[in-house]
């Protein structure tokens, strides 16, 4: 990833690690290559976010402010059940400085995810659609957390027109400053442009 995309102006390459890996070595290698984010997909990797073997990852990303995009849920296609948010709450409590970005705002369990998001200052979420459906939000749902929300599209495999995803965000009743934060500023704060 670092060799292929490290100098690309539009792509921020990231690394991943699984609990059965030599976690410290994989994380250190990724950081040594200049990767500035990680992604953990619990359903695809068939692991739990709070697996004790991830402690070296959480320690290093907490110390360095490296974001970790997390896909919760039981299905590789993306949906998250409300009870599956408990593991995120435990990890964010144990590692309060870990900049975790909850993919898809845990759709369809969005209201439950927003409650967890409000409890943890370093926790963020993205609005990437789940297949053909935007994250189910309405006006006012992001009150007080717009500074923790990142736009997402899943391009190029987007199942709905990109313009519809943008229009959905614009229909949430955010201020111009909050929209700017969601569309770019929050991501730039988490992973500053090179």
141-154: b (≥16 Cβ within 10 Å) or e: bbeebbebbbbbeb
What is the predicted pLDDT for the residue at 6?
Answer: 86
Distance set, CA 52 to CA 15, 28, 43, 93 (Å): 19, 18, 17, 14
| Cβ-contact 67, 191 below 8 angstroms | yes
What is the predicted pLDDT for the residue at 141?
Answer: 96
CATH superfamily of 14-190: Metal-dependent hydrolases (3.20.20.140)
Domain parsing of the chain, residue ranges: 14-190
Higher pLDDT, 178 or 5: 178
Q: 3-class SS at 183?
A: helix
Cα angle: 179, vertex 11, 59; to 5 degrees: 85
Side-chain half-sphere exposure of 161, counting CA atoms within 13 A: 3
| Cβ-contact 146, 182 below 8 angstroms | yes
User: How many whole angstroms separate alpha carbon 102 and alpha carbon 128?
Assistant: 10
Q: 3-class SS at 80?
A: strand
Q: What is the pLDDT of residues 32-85, one digit of tens each?
A: 999 999 999 998 999 999 999 999 999 999 999 999 999 998 777 768 999 999
Q: What is the pLDDT of residues 121-175, one digit of tens each?
A: 999 999 999 878 899 999 999 999 999 999 988 877 778 889 999 999 999 999 9
What is the predicted pLDDT for the residue at 78?
Answer: 67
User: How many whole angstroms separate alpha carbon 84 and alpha carbon 113?
Assistant: 10
């Amino acid at each position: 990833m670092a060799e292929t995309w490290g100098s690309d102006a539009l792509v921020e390459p990231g690394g991943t690690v699984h609990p059965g890996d030599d976690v410290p070595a994989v994380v250190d290698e990724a950081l040594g290559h200049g990767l500035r984010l990680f992604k953990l997909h619990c359903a695809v990797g068939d692991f739990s976010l709070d697996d004790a073997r991830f402690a070296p990852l959480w320690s290093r990303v907490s110390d360095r402010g490296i974001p970790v995009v997390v896909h919760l849920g039981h299905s590789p296609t993306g949906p998250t059940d409300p009870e599956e948010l408990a593991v995120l709450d435990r990890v964010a409590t144990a590692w309060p400085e870990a900049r975790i970005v909850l993919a898809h705002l845990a759709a369809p369990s969005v209201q439950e995810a927003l409650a967890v998001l409000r409890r943890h200052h370093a926790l963020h979420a993205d609005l990437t659609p789940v297949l053909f459906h935007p994250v189910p939000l309405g006006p006012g749902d992001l009150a007080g957390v717009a500074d923790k929300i990142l736009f997402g599209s899943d391009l190029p495999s987007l199942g709905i027109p990109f313009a519809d995803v943008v229009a959905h965000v614009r229909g949430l009743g955010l201020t111009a400053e909050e929209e700017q934060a969601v569309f770019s500023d929050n991501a730039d704060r988490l992973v500053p442009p090179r």
